[in-house]
């Protein structure tokens, strides 16, 4: 019996397959120049032996490191975004659960409109890139320079996507409000330049149309202050509204603050339903009924896809969004 190996190396695989290390290397990296039969055989042996290439050696030799790059787009100030917006930390949490135990680095970037910086990320990417909230332009540019990209929001068609059913969630939220007897259902939407913003709005619109309700909309960016201001405006314009569908919890928390400030009760006078099920939902007063986005699960899925190198061209996976009932309805 052979001496126990502490760690399997490419050499072991080569020997078992009766080929050279170079060939094994080519197979691992999906490089051309290997006979198909040989390639299959080597792949089989790699699987059988449960061989895992050493990422460090690979990095040293190839001059690039294995890592998952999470890229968020900078809306205004870059600093403190992670700590201040629940979404990003949930994405990181999801990625981390998968990276745990593996020898893969997690890099975080926040990009504005500096194309050079974007190209640099693609250039240095290794295991792959997870797009937290990239607009189509950015996503397409990245995808052009690096095939291993997965977006967590609907974006350029060419980019593999693991998204949530935003439109369906919004539709369900409005339907729920309607079932509660509410008939003057306003909406505070997210930005029109994000697919989340657009799809949640679409879901709202479809619902009120089917239900024969009026369109009472306002909105802006996914920030608490925006929700606060929009709710004030809405209440001013439509003093009789009895419910609000708000496109994210942060805004919904702001909306609740505004509604309270006018002397109205939540949910007595106005029901409000948020979206995301983030920490903001549970800290609001009253705590928010909301549509739960499985952000952590989505990020984990995207990461696995990247690590398994199984991101096909038009890949698309859609996660359902679920109603969580709390005190604001």
Partner DNA sequence: TTGAAAGCGCTAACAT
Partner DNA sequence: ATGTTAGCGCTTTCAA
The H-or-E segment that residue 29 falls in is none
Residue 131's CB is within 10 A of a number of other CB atoms, namely 28
Q: How far apart are CA 162 and CA 158, in angstroms?
A: 13
Secondary structure class of 9 (helix, strand, coil): coil
Instruction: Return the range that interacts with a copy of itself (CB under 8 A); candidates 98-106, 193-201, 202-210, 303-311.
Output: 98-106
Listed in sequence order, the residues at least 6 apart from 325 whose beta carbon sits closer than 8 Å to its beta carbon are 289
Q: How far apart are CA 131 and CA 153, in angstroms?
A: 8
The residue within the footprint of a copy of itself, chosen from 56, 157, 262, 317 (CB under 8 A), is 56
Burial class (CB in 10 A: 0-12, 13-18, 19+), 236: exposed
Which one of DNA, a copy of itself, none interacts with residue 18, CB within 5 to 8 A by kind?
DNA
Residue 211 in contact with a copy of itself, rule: CB under 8 A: no
Interface mask toward a copy of itself for 223-262; x: CB under 8 A = -x------------------------xx--x--xx--x--
The residue within the footprint of a copy of itself, chosen from 57, 117, 211, 325 (CB under 8 A), is 57
CB of 60 to a copy of itself, least distance (A): 5
Residue 308 in contact with a copy of itself, rule: CB under 8 A: no
Which one of a copy of itself, DNA, none interacts with residue 175, CB within 5 to 8 A by kind?
none
Task: Give the strand pairing for 67-73 and 105-111.
Answer: parallel
DSSP secondary-structure letter at 35? Answer: -
Site residues (vs a copy of itself, CB under 8 A):
54, 56-57, 59-60, 65, 79-80, 82-86, 88-90, 92-94, 96-97, 100, 103, 105-106, 108, 224, 249-250, 253, 256-257, 260, 278-280, 282-287, 295-296
């Amino acid at each position: 019996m052979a001496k126990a190996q502490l760690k399997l190396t490419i050499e072991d695989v080569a020997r078992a397959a009766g080929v050279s290390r170079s060939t094994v290397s080519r197979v691992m990296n999906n490089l051309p120049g290997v006979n198909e039969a040989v390639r299959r055989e080597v792949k089989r042996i790699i699987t059988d032996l449960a061989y895992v290439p050493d990422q460090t050696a690979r990095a040293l030799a190839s001059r690039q490191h294995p890592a998952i790059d999470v890229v968020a787009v900078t809306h205004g100030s870059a600093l403190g975004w992670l700590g201040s917006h629940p979404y990003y930390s949930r994405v990181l949490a999801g990625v981390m659960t998968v990276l745990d135990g593996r020898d893969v680095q997690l890099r975080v970037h926040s990009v504005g409109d500096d194309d050079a910086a974007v190209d640099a990320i693609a250039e240095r990417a290794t295991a792959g890139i997870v797009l937290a909230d990239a607009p189509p332009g950015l996503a397409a540019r990245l995808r052009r320079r690096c095939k291993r990209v997965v977006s967590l929001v609907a974006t350029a068609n060419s980019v593999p996507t693991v998204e949530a059913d935003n439109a369906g969630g919004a539709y369900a939220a409005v339907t729920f409000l309607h079932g509660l007897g509410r008939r003057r259902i306003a909406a505070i939407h997210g930005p029109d330049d994000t697919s989340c913003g657009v799809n949640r709005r679409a879901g709202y619109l479809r619902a009120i149309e089917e239900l024969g309700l009026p369109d009472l909309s306002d909105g802006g960016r996914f920030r608490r202050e925006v929700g606060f201001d929009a709710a004030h405006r809405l209440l001013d314009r439509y003093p009789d509204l009895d419910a609000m569908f708000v496109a994210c919890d942060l805004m919904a928390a702001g909306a609740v603050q505004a509604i309270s400030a006018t002397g109205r009760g939540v949910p007595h006078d106005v029901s409000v339903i948020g979206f995301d099920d983030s920490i903001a939902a549970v800290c609001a007063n009253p705590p928010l009924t909301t549509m739960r986005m499985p952000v952590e699960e989505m990020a984990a899925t995207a990461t696995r896809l990247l690590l398994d190198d199984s991101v096909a061209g038009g890949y698309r996976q859609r996660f359902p969004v679920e109603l969580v009932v709390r005190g604001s309805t």
